[in-house]
Amino acid sequence: MHPASSSKPLHALLQEASAHLQQRSFDSAQTLLDQAVRMAPQMRDVQMLQAILAVQTRQNEKAEHIFKALLRQNPSDIDALANLGFLLLQVGRNHDALAVLERAIQLQPRHAGLHLNLGVTQEALNRQDDALQSYQRSLALNPRDAQTHFVVGKLLQDRQDFQGACASYQRALSLHPSHPEALSNLLFTHHYLEDFSPYVNSTLARRLAQAANTAHQGQAKKERQERRSSKPLLRVGFVSADLREHPVGYFLETTLQQLDRTRLALFAYSNNIFEDKVSARLKPHFTCWRVIEALNDRDAAALIRQDQIDVLVDLSGYTAGHRQGLFALRAAPLQLSWLGYFSTTGQSAIDYVLADPVCVPPEEEDLFVERVWRMPVTRYCFTAPSNAPAISRLPALESGHVTFGSFQALQKINNRVLRAWAEILRRAPKARWRIQSKQLDIPAGRALFEARLAACGVPRERVRLTGSQSRADYLASYGEVDLILDTYPYPGGTTTVEALWMGVPTLTLAQPGMLGRQGQSIMSAARLAHWVVGTEADYVDRATQWAEASAEQLQELARLRSGLRERMQKSTLLDATQFARDFEQAIEGMWQDAQT
């Protein structure tokens, strides 16, 4: 005898299954579709929903088999073609996806959604100009489609047109005010604007949080009190898509090694099915490692509550793969933001942000919705790379000129920064530059960046551009530069610490906000605060002075270089034991503070 719900009409079952699919409640959708299959196994709509569910649950072979079976029955089935194209794109068969979608457009050229999916496929094939044309055709057919404005914004963001990207995200939000990805991307992209304002960013974050479904704070406090009395240690969960070869993974590793398991029980909630050698090293430090990528926010929150997590740590903010919706549901009694983000989340459901005395001075606490909890010295603890070569001799001693370096993502090197670099090169005619980024491996990205160099007055013949390298070769390449000039208002983080480990100091410009003071925080923790400047004019002057350094000054820089690794080893940036004790005290202090 079938469950009671099987007595529903077939169309009602399909409608309900479709609704569960949209909510990512895959188990419920599967139960309903199983009933529908028993009633009408050959019905086209039943098979279509089965295939869509298979796509969502990564049963790719099953989904492809169903779509192709539907197309054998009806080669002109536009929905089957569109969904098959999407599936092929998801599994990386981009050329196959392109052929399927072009065939569909030949059958129905005025289908806006097909042009949208074609554009996404063309982007995956690095055909950005073609993709933009496809998006424009889609908008000509359906100008009020928020998703198309959103993908246009993403494309412009990838092309480092951040003003245009923000405008497209704003248009998407004018049509769909609660579009979570558009608002999230708008918030994150703001950090790349030349005139980035942490105050504007804070306002945007609050707006984003208003769209979230926050839980009742009084009930959360009750849970804290009940749980504290029944457990001997705090259960701490970490939510991230970056528990892998990523700055979050690099900074997290040694801290996890040193945390006291008699004080904290650690749980990982990875929002990424991809795992690597860093993931393998992180896993043993957790009591439990759960992958939540396939779970919707409600089901993920239920899982976290089932694990009886006391403190839930967000390591993503609004970076790729974030789960802000999960935190909005108050999945744990105490929630905090740390490590992977550098501004307010805007969420009242996130109680604290973990900071330090430099990155958030008292006068900037109003930038945060969260309460600011400061670590004694730094909010970071770096994991030193095991495969780093020895520190090299200062290149300028042999080359006869200073070589500045940058290892940042190209989107951080905005035109304001490039104009400052051009002025330094104008004042220091012997200076050279080495710029390395994996984005320079893409011909279109390299051409765009070279065009920006020219437009900003940077002599191309004095700049060496280098693409991606293995991690070992990347670390060794610091041996080719004398010092790093930081970007702003989005400075370096991981690259700044890695440069210090390789003996290369960074000249950084402190700007308002946690992000703007990131370089200042790192250099201060390394006891190199004199490498921090407060104005762009000082930045240009100091860099020029180093470019024109005397032989005695270069010897001074060489002595600093040779001793930097030892300095780092003695600094709080690498003292994982002390950082772990400070972190434990912070977690317990926030927990106790929340009880009052």
Contact 333, 227 (CB under 8 A): yes
pLDDT band with cut points at 50, 70 and 90 for residue 13: confident
Query: Is 559 part of a structural domain of the chain?
Result: yes
pLDDT in tens, 511-560: 999 999 999 999 999 999 999 999 999 999 999 999 999 999 999 999 99
Q: Are strands 264-270 and 288-291 parallel, antiparallel or unpaired?
A: parallel
* Res. 576: pLDDT tops 90: yes
Candidate from 18-22, 420-424, 533-537, 556-560 with smallest mean pLDDT: 18-22
Mean pLDDT for the stretch of residues 218-237? 60
Q: What are residue 485's phi and psi, to 5 degrees?
A: -105, 120
Query: Is 339 part of a structural domain of the chain?
Result: yes
Q: Please, what is the angle between helix 78-90 and helix 44-56, to 10°?
A: 10
Residues 359 and 432 grouped into a single domain? no
Predicted local confidence at residue 6, as pLDDT: 52
Residues 322 and 412 grouped into a single domain? no
State how many domains the chain has.
3
Q: Domain of 493: which CATH number?
A: 3.40.50.2000
pLDDT in tens, 475-512: 999 999 999 999 999 999 999 999 999 999 999 999 99
Instruction: Extract the tokens encoding 358.
Output: 């430099």
* Residue after which a domain boundary falls, among 144, 159, 174: 159
Residues 328 and 426 grouped into a single domain? no
Output the pTM of the full model: 0.84
Residues 248 and 377 grouped into a single domain? yes
pLDDT band with cut points at 50, 70 and 90 for residue 211: low
Predicted local confidence at residue 215, as pLDDT: 36
The whole domain housing 497 covers: 396-569
Predicted local confidence at residue 22, as pLDDT: 83
Query: Is 316 part of a structural domain of the chain?
Result: yes
pLDDT band with cut points at 50, 70 and 90 for residue 90: confident
* Res. 172: pLDDT tops 50: yes
Predicted local confidence at residue 56, as pLDDT: 87
Instruction: Out of 33-42, 153-162, 213-222, 557-566, give the one with best mean pLDDT.
Output: 557-566
Predicted local confidence at residue 245, as pLDDT: 92
Residues 120 and 231 grouped into a single domain? no
Predicted local confidence at residue 442, as pLDDT: 87
Query: Is 211 part of a structural domain of the chain?
Result: no
**% the chain with pLDDT above 70:** 95
pLDDT band with cut points at 50, 70 and 90 for residue 386: confident
* Res. 223: pLDDT tops 70: no
Residues 371 and 338 grouped into a single domain? yes
CA distance 217 to 208: 19
Predicted local confidence at residue 7, as pLDDT: 65
* Res. 383: pLDDT tops 90: no
- Provide the 3-class DSSP secondary structure of residue 312: strand
Residues 8 and 41 grouped into a single domain? yes
* Res. 135: pLDDT tops 70: yes
Q: Are strands 371-374 and 463-466 parallel, antiparallel or unpaired?
A: unpaired
Query: Is 390 part of a structural domain of the chain?
Result: no
Instruction: Out of 79-83, 205-209, 225-229, 284-288, give the one with best mean pLDDT.
Output: 284-288
* Residue after which a domain boundary falls, among 159, 184, 202: 159
Contact 496, 418 (CB under 8 A): no
Contacts of 75 (CB under 8 A, 6+ apart): none
Half-sphere exposure at residue 36, Cβ-oriented, CA atoms within 13 angstroms: 25
* Res. 564: pLDDT tops 60: yes
- Mean pLDDT computed over every residue of the chain: 92
CA distance 316 to 346: 13
* Res. 219: pLDDT tops 80: no
Predicted local confidence at residue 3, as pLDDT: 43
Residues 342 and 423 grouped into a single domain? no
Residues 25 and 100 grouped into a single domain? yes
Question: Which amino acid appears at position 334 of this protein?
Answer: L
Query: Is 105 part of a structural domain of the chain?
Result: yes
CB burial of 145-160 (b: ≥16 within 10 Å; e: otherwise) equals bbbbbbbbbbbbbbbb
Longest dimension (CA), the chain: 90
Residues 363 and 225 grouped into a single domain? yes
Contact 347, 209 (CB under 8 A): yes
DSSP-H helix ranges across 23-92: 26-39, 44-56, 60-73, 78-90
Residues 247 and 369 grouped into a single domain? yes
Q: Domain of 256: which CATH number?
A: 3.40.50.11380
DSSP string, 417-483: HHHHHHHHHHH-TT-EEEEE-GGGGSHHHHHHHHHHHHHTT--GGGEEEE----HHHHHHGGGG-SE
Query: Is 169 part of a structural domain of the chain?
Result: no
Give the position of tokens 């949209």: 22
Predicted local confidence at residue 8, as pLDDT: 79
Contacts of 412 (CB under 8 A, 6+ apart): 192, 487, 490, 491, 492
Predicted local confidence at residue 311, as pLDDT: 98
* Residue after which a domain boundary falls, among 159, 176, 203: 159
Predicted local confidence at residue 331, as pLDDT: 97
* Res. 589: pLDDT tops 80: yes
Nearest Cα to Cα of residue 24 among 290, 236, 302: 302
Contacts of 519 (CB under 8 A, 6+ apart): 486, 491, 492, 496, 506, 508, 509, 510, 532
Query: Is 180 part of a structural domain of the chain?
Result: no
Mean pLDDT for the stretch of residues 568-577? 92
Residues 370 and 437 grouped into a single domain? no
Q: Domain of 8: which CATH number?
A: 1.25.40.10
